[in-house]
Amino acid sequence: MTDIKLLNEKIQCESAFVDMLQMEVSKVIIGQKYMVERLLIGLLSNGHVLLEGVPGLAKTLSIKTLAASIQAKFQRIQFTPDLLPADVIGTMIFNQKNGEFTVRKGPIFANFILADEINRAPAKVQSALLEAMQERQITIGENTHKLDEPFLVLATQNPIEQEGTYPLPEAQVDRFMLKIKIDYPNRDEERLIMRQNLTDFQPQAKSVVNPADILKARSVVQEVYMDEKIEKYILDIVFATRKPKDYKLDKLTNLINYGASPRASIYLALGAKAFAFIKRRGYVIPEDVRAVCHDVLRHRIAVTYEAEAENVTSENIVDDILNTVEVP
């Protein structure tokens, strides 16, 4: 039996750095608490994050600030239509002095990778990212190089402008743990943003955590207690996307092309544990699962043409599932 009291005390102690991290990020980023919290969930769960929002919502700045708050190597890659795989992962360079090929490592060899406007690069560049995202390694020539931990791909994409963009392959989209949709700040937040940017002093985030702390926190997140009833709840949600009739959701049958993959179950469980950790709890409750459900599932449910004709999105489908599946 898991001693919940001891686990709670341990997590209270181990999760203290989360508050420090959020405070540092909030010095630079005004508002967008939802986005920052989800970035932390991805970081603690060893999962990549896809950010979608219109230009100017501090997507790039948030990722740069989070990287600055952690003493880790940060690289930004601006994805463009003429980008080549070698520009991302590196290549073999011929050394004329000794007549040998040497490896010139690309920007992917860092802890935090900001893939800015990821949908602007063609499929061959996306395929170069797949191995790094899944296996945490890069193959250049005949040699395979392990990437340093923590390794996190934080990608952004603009949902408005579709000219000159390439749809991301389904296999790659599924490798992102979370897809976060970002909205505009409220009126008070925007006033503060405006004032902050009209002064000479621009706040900078200091590093308050090192990579070793993150790796230690990840192992503690794994220890967060999850009851069998919560596991059943997660499986019910995921299976309802595949076989809606079994859950009295007949109306969704013609709206879902295909449901969520097994990665959804894994990431729902991991995300719920990370959310409990951030909330300084040693056990998962159903609200933790519901809190991360939209971010984990919105890019894993493919809707039919019929759903598109009726303006039904994957988020509407997740809402229906959460309203119908019995909560433990």
What is the residue-level pLDDT of the chain in tens, covering all 328 positions?
567 788 888 888 878 888 888 888 888 888 888 888 898 999 999 899 998 888 777 888 888 888 888 888 889 899 888 888 888 888 888 888 888 888 888 889 988 888 888 888 888 888 888 888 888 888 887 888 888 888 889 888 877 766 667 778 787 888 899 999 888 888 998 898 888 888 888 888 888 888 888 888 899 899 899 999 999 999 999 999 999 898 888 888 888 888 899 999 999 999 999 999 999 888 999 999 999 999 999 999 988 899 889 888 889 999 999 999 888 8
The tokens for 100 are: 């040998």
pLDDT for 305 equals: 92
Residues of the chain with CATH 3.40.50.300: 31-199+206-215
- The rounded distance, in Å, linking the Cα atoms of 35 and 54 is 14
Residue in this structure with the two tokens 């621009």, named with its chain if needed: 202
Side-chain-side CA neighbours of 112 within 13 Å: the count stands at 26
Residue 216, classed as helix, strand or coil, is: helix
pLDDT at residue number 55: 79
The per-residue pLDDT for 211 is 86
Residue 8 exposure: Cα atoms within 13 Å on the Cβ side: 6
What is the C-alpha separation between 153 and 168, in angstroms, rounded?
Answer: 15
Q: Where in the chain is the domain with CATH 1.10.8.80?
A: 224-324
CATH number for the domain formed by residue range(s) 31-199+206-215: 3.40.50.300
Q: What is the pLDDT of residue 161?
A: 65
For the 224-324 domain, the top CATH level (class) is mainly alpha
* Helix and strand numbers, DSSP H then E, in the chain: 14, 11
The secondary structure of 1-64 as a DSSP string is ---HHHHHHHHHHHTHHHHHHHHHHHHH--S-HHHHHHHHHHHHHT-EEEEE--TTSSHHHHHH
Tokens 């999760």 label which residue?
15
Predicted confidence at residue 322, as pLDDT, reads 92
